[in-house]
Structure 1
């Protein structure tokens, strides 16, 4: 009774069924894996591999007199297997997301100018590839927002960009969508905005505000822009779809005469990695020094 009480409730029925089959002589050995309560109680569950058999039966009745076996703690092995399963699922999920975005890019990017079409598609796929590489470097658990921003804004001229914000660990699911948003902002700034002319500046700041991660993109001293764009391009539509649809946030674009200002608010629960959810208040009090990504 003490032994069965220690077995995890979900594992108890199959383990007991196998044991009863051995006792009844229907099976020769008891070989299985299940979870048992750690000692002292309340310390979680340990996975064990058990190999046992009937060691002695009553000659007259055939009743079991003694069972013999050995159990081995295999918790580390089972946890490693679970991590591999989760990693495989995450890689599969991310790969499908990448393919879906690539399909959207190919379908919606203007094709009336083949050379520009090729360059645009290559740049967007490269942004996905950079995010993929960063995730792989971090073991697919997420990425540092500062590093992510630094890589996506590296295409802007050296000295034109500043990054400022606390240390934030972005979840694996949010890395690639956020990379695409930053890529579109950086590309627009380099082609048409503040990063396209000498003296123009781009400032990307982020902060934790309540239950949100808020990013602020401010361009100044660039070429004059109309207050309202005459046509929304694919980049703007894609950013809005990503921010609202994939990340569950909000996006505000303000085309001021002195440059674009963009505010992105994202739910912390959707953007932060599981490891960052607990200490995020503490992280907010440790801002990084503003730096400029290499050109």
Structure 2
């Protein structure tokens, strides 16, 4: 009995096709139920012969297809013509009603079978898309794993080469780690990108969540733009930790962003940091800040104010 119930559930959900025995049994049940309804209606209107069998034809066709629907329509017509719950006998009027009943049943069967075939095709497409999505996710996970291993290998090789040049290594190591954190963040959203707030929190979180404030609407960044901004945020946060707001007990950082059409504007505003001294020649970090957004028609402007570093970023958000 449990096996029959499971088969019925799978058929009703469109996962599988019914067996001939289940198909015939369901149609017979629908006919029996319709006949019982007809008997009840006969207590009020004895001239109701075929109307109760329309639902049986509809459900039998939806469950098992057009063939069992046609068989149900023929059987329902035969029952309506031959079975009587009153003294009325089959006459010419009942034969005409039978022809009308079969005509309407034919239209019903055609319509239900048509939409049933569409639903079956859609389910097949859905199953195929689910399989393709699972396969794509497997490939993306494998690529993410290989990328992480490759980045770890590059990190280890550079550390081996630069172990006797700690100053150069100190400049490279945190940037590689920042890229690794960004890749992990992007991977968590299926490799397409990440939210700007999540990106900022991952970079600024180690300095303490009470040391900064983020202001802006939720904004999803495509992968390439997220990587470029991650490098910029890392440079700014590193400078803030060494010379800016995060280097002072009372220092505070305000980051806000706005979007106008496809243009993203970001403001990085530090306050209560140590006094800004003489600005030396532009180093690697400054050059990175100036050039990282060029592929996105962007620019970076940095001002060293008495209150702290003020940086504005503008770029185009790629459509993808």
Interval of TM-score (by shorter of Structure 1 and Structure 2): 0.5 to 0.7
Take 1:182 and 1:194, find their aligned partners in 2: how far apart are those partners?
A: 14
Q: CA deviation at 1:99?
A: 7.4
Residues 102-152 of structure 1 show CA distances to partners (whole Å, capped at 9, x for unaligned) of 98xx99xxx798333333322111111111111111111221111110011
**Within 5 Å, which residues of 2 pair with 1:105-144?**
114-144=165-195
How many angstroms apart in 1 are the aligned matches of 2:183 and 2:141? 12
Q: Among 295, 302, 306, which residue is 1:257 paired with?
A: 306
1:170 corresponds, among 196, 200, 221, to 221
Contact 1:94–1:173 at 8 Å: present in 2 too?
no
Q: Please state how far the C-alpha of 1:220 moved relative to its aligned partner.
A: 1.2
Residues 230/119 of structure 1: CA separation in 2 closer, same or farther (3 Å cut) = closer
CA distance in 2 between partners of 1:96 and 1:232 (Å): 31
Q: Give me the CA root mean square deviation.
A: 3.7
TM-superposed CA distance for 1:255, in Å, is 1.4
The 3 A distance-change label for structure 1 pair 257 and 98 is farther
User: Within the alignment, does 1:238 sit opposite 2:238 as a pair?
Assistant: no
Greater share of strand: 1
The structure with the largest alpha-carbon Rg is 2
- Name which structure has the greater RCO, CA cutoff 8 Å, separation 6+: 1
Residue in 1 that maps onto 2:48: none
Residues in 2 aligned to 1:248 and 1:198: alpha-carbon distance in whole angstroms: 37
User: Any gaps of 5 or more consecutive residues in structure 2?
Assistant: 1-113
Structure 1 residue runs of 5 or longer lacking an equivalent are 1-38, 48-71, 275-295
Q: 1:259 to 1:248 in 2, by over 3 A?
A: same
CA contact (8 A) 1:98 1:128 kept: no
